[in-house]
Amino acid sequence: MISSFFPPQRTLMGPGPSDVSPRVLGALARPTIGHLDPLFVQLMDEIKELLQFAFQTKNELTLPISAPGSAGMEACFVNLLSPGDKVIVCQNGVFGGRMKENVERCGATAIMVEDTWGEPVSIGKVVTAFDQHPDASILAFVHAETSTGVCSDAAALCALARGRGALSIVDTVTSLGGIEVLADDWGADAVYSGTQKCLSCVPGISPVTFSARAVDRINNRVHKVQSWFLDMQLIMGYWGGSSKRAYHHTAPVNDLYALHESLIMLQEEGLEATHQRHRRNHEGLVAGLEAMGLAMAVAPEFRLPQLNSVLIPEGVDDAALRTTLLQEFSLEIGAGLGALAGKTWRIGLMGFASNERNVVYCLNALEAVLDGQNAAINTGVALPAARAALKR
């Protein structure tokens, strides 16, 4: 007979999911109530308000999609695009490629602006793309590229789109809760995120926010949105401002308790303090890795504090190292993706997992396993270097 599943206690320092706090797991285990229960409707309103805070927006259409980050991505594309539209898509990693896929499945055309993996989106190339395609009505880009650990200039890209009369679609799945996301200040039009990265909530929900301009475009659609489930007009009927809520789908009630709790934690710590914590722990980790003799894959000015790409030293068995970390240290770090597969490790310091204990634990484990593989590293120096950086 198959029996209950009891997962081990891992330390999740990969590209997501990140460690979920006991407080959020506790919220998840509270009694399920009806998804149209007046108390649940109140909770929905609070979640919308907390998400406005997280995104730093006054956008009325701000809510969690009942599906993972990929669904938030798809929701933005299917609601804003119609067949025949032209979209400038920036690709400097894995997720820009998924945007292209979304654009094409909407019957629209993707004008690709490609940059080397490990570098940010080039503003100059986007300017050229708009010059060559003045009829492009949308610019889509990833703020924090999780596949490479690179941050692109969201403020400049959104401003550029506005200046050309285009709307912007911004992927903030890995940025929200880790680095500054300023939907209103940027003038972003459709922004989506995920719960399992820096919000350190359970995977499976995708917060989104749409500007008034984006809502206008949605309301003036001629073609029906190709996805019934992700049609914002229908979702608005369920999540909308009026007290009368129409059934569209059953919200993941307990997951939303968890999201509410994780957003409360974000509010309690404060956005600035949260971002500072991510920055400090990142600096501690990098100091330790560099003291060990490892090199970071991304230039300092473009590094994401929540996702650290490290070059794998010559002669090290990538897969064997990650397996040993998992089996002997119950520690998960990420492998390189796409063009960087086998070349980098991706060490996450996301949300609840961004803490000093994890920095020290990861450096210790990495040093032990690399030393065990006879890699040419400096031993005994990573921790003092990390501790000194963490004190700064």
Ligand X SMILES: *Cc1c(COP(=O)(O)O)cnc(C)c1O
Residues that bind ligand X (CB under 6 A): 16, 68-70, 73, 95, 142, 146, 171, 173-174, 194, 196, 203
130 vs 210, beta carbon nearer ligand X: 210
16 strand-pairing partners:
none
Question: How far, in Å, CA of 157 to CA of 348, rounded?
Answer: 25
207 vs 288, beta carbon nearer ligand X: 207
Residue 302 and residue 150 in contact, taking contact as beta carbons nearer than 8 Å: yes
Question: How far, in Å, CA of 229 to CA of 165, rounded?
Answer: 29
Q: Residue of minimal CB distance from ligand X?
A: 69
10 vs 245, beta carbon nearer ligand X: 10
Helix or strand (DSSP H, E) at 268: helix 253-269
**Considering the complex, what minimum distance in angstroms separates the CB of residue 16 from ligand X?**
5
18 vs 324, beta carbon nearer ligand X: 18
Q: Residue 38's CB: how many other CB atoms inside 10 A?
A: 10
Question: How far, in Å, CA of 65 to CA of 79, rounded?
Answer: 13
Torsion of CA 332, 350, 68, 156, to 10 degrees: -130
Closest of 167, 184, 190, 153 to residue 73, by C-alpha = 190
**Considering the complex, what minimum distance in angstroms separates the CB of residue 106 from ligand X?**
17
187 vs 334, beta carbon nearer ligand X: 334
Residue 55 and residue 181 in contact, taking contact as beta carbons nearer than 8 Å: yes
**Considering the complex, what minimum distance in angstroms separates the CB of residue 387 from ligand X?**
30
77 vs 329, beta carbon nearer ligand X: 77
Sequence-ordered strand ranges (E) for the chain: 11-13, 61-65, 86-91, 109-114, 138-142, 144-145, 150-151, 167-171, 190-192, 206-210, 307-311, 331-335, 344-348
82 vs 344, beta carbon nearer ligand X: 344
Q: What 8-state DSSP symbol labels residue 168?
A: E
**Considering the complex, what minimum distance in angstroms separates the CB of residue 93 from ligand X?**
8
**Considering the complex, what minimum distance in angstroms separates the CB of residue 348 from ligand X?**
10
**Considering the complex, what minimum distance in angstroms separates the CB of residue 205 from ligand X?**
8
**Considering the complex, what minimum distance in angstroms separates the CB of residue 333 from ligand X?**
15
**Considering the complex, what minimum distance in angstroms separates the CB of residue 159 from ligand X?**
21
Question: How far, in Å, CA of 295 to CA of 233, rounded?
Answer: 48
136 vs 350, beta carbon nearer ligand X: 350
State both tokens at 229. Answer: 């489930």
